[in-house]
Chain A
C-alpha cells in the first residue's frame, strides 16, 4: 500500500485553477522530486497534502486512510512533516525551542527524550551553534535550515521539503544532499520541490513535473528530463 495517494485533487483560487486533477501514489520510503516553473502550483500541492488547504475536489489518502478532512495538526500527528518555502519560524522562541515544540507536539516525543532528539537534529542540520539564538533574528539561509530541522523534529514518516537548496554554496549544497539522503536511508518518504536539479537528482528516484497546476509527467528522472515538453518548459532555467 502506498504511504500517500492523491486521487483527482483539484484546487482553484477564484478563476485560477492552481491544482488541476492531480493523481499519484508515493510508495513507503520513496523519494519523489517535484519541478515546474514559478507559479505552477507546487507549493499549493504541499498545502493540500499537509492540510493547510482543503481541495475543492478529490481525495488525499495516507496509508490507505482518507485524510482529506483532517486538519494540518492531525496530519502532522499522523506522520506528515513539512517545511515552508517562505520560512515561518516561531520568532520569539530560540532555534532549540522551535524544534522542541515540533518534537513534543507533532512528534509526540516524551519530555525526557525530546532534548536529545532535538539536539541530534540540530547537529545534523548544522544549527547546533545557534541553538540558543532567537529564531526571528536568523539570516535567511539559517531560517531555511530551521524549516528542515523543525520538520525533522516532528519525527515524520513523510517529509515535504519546499525549495531548501536555493542560495547555498556548492559545499553547503553537498552537505544538504547528504543530510537528506540520510533521512531517506532511515526510511522516511520524501517529496522535495527544488529548482536546483543536480541536488534533487542526487536524492530522488522519480520526478514529477507540474505546469499550470497539471501533472505534466511523472517517472524516472532521466526519462523526464529527456522529454521534449519538459525541455521546452525548462529551457530558460536549465540553460
Chain B
C-alpha cells in the first residue's frame, strides 16, 4: 500500500521535473543567446543592426535587414501559396469527400508531415529550381510587378523557397483545419441546408463562421513552422544577401544565414556574436507567433465552452 503511494508521489514529482526542465531549456537558450550577442549589441545600435542592409563581416558591417526581409518574404510567399490551397483541400476533405476518400487521403497527408526537410530540399533542387529557371524568362518579361527578372534567373529563388516551404506547411494546415471543420456541429449545417442553402453556401456563410478561429490557429502554426524551417529553404533559395524585389530573385533567410556560417571564419570580430543575435531574433519572432497561436486556441475553447 505504502509503496504504491510512494510510487505515485515519485511519478508526480518526476513529471513535474520533466515539465520544468523542458521549459527551463527554452529560457536558458534565450538567456545564452542574449549573453552571447551582447558584444555586438554593445557596440552597435539596434537600429543599425535591424535596419542596416550591408552585410560585410570583414569590414565590421552587420546589417540584418536583408535577412529579416528574406525570412519574412519567403515565409509570406509560402503562406500565400499554402493557405488557399490547403484550406480548400481541408474543406473538400471535411465537407465533400466520401468517408472512403477521407480515410485514405488523411494518413497520406500526415505522412507528408513526417518527410525530413532535406528530402524536400533535394526535391526542390531537382524539380522546382529547374522548372523555375525554365519559366522565369517567359513570365519575367511580361513586366508584372514582383514577377520581373533582372538579367536571368538560375531558379534558386524566393519562389523556389516559397513553393518548397508551402508544400511542407500543407499537412499542418490541412489536418488541423479539417479537424476544426469536422467539429462544427451538424446542427448548424442542418439548419442552413434546411433553409434551402446549397452546400457551398452553407460552408461559406455558416460553417466557416464557426471554424475560422481554428483555421486561423492552423495558419499561425503553419507560419511558425515555415519561418523556422532551415534545411529545405537554404538548399533552394539562392542565399544572396540582398532585399528581393521579385519572386525570381534570390534571398537569404536568417535560418540559412546561421546554418551556413556558424562555425566558420569565427576569427572575424563580432561575427559569432552577430550570428547568435540572428538566432535570437529568429527565436523571438517564432515565440511571438507561437504565443499568438496559443492565445487564439484558448479563445476557441472558451467560445466553445460558453457557446
A binds B: no
Q: A-side interface residues toward B, CB under 8 Å?
A: none
Q: B-side interface residues toward A, CB under 8 Å?
A: none
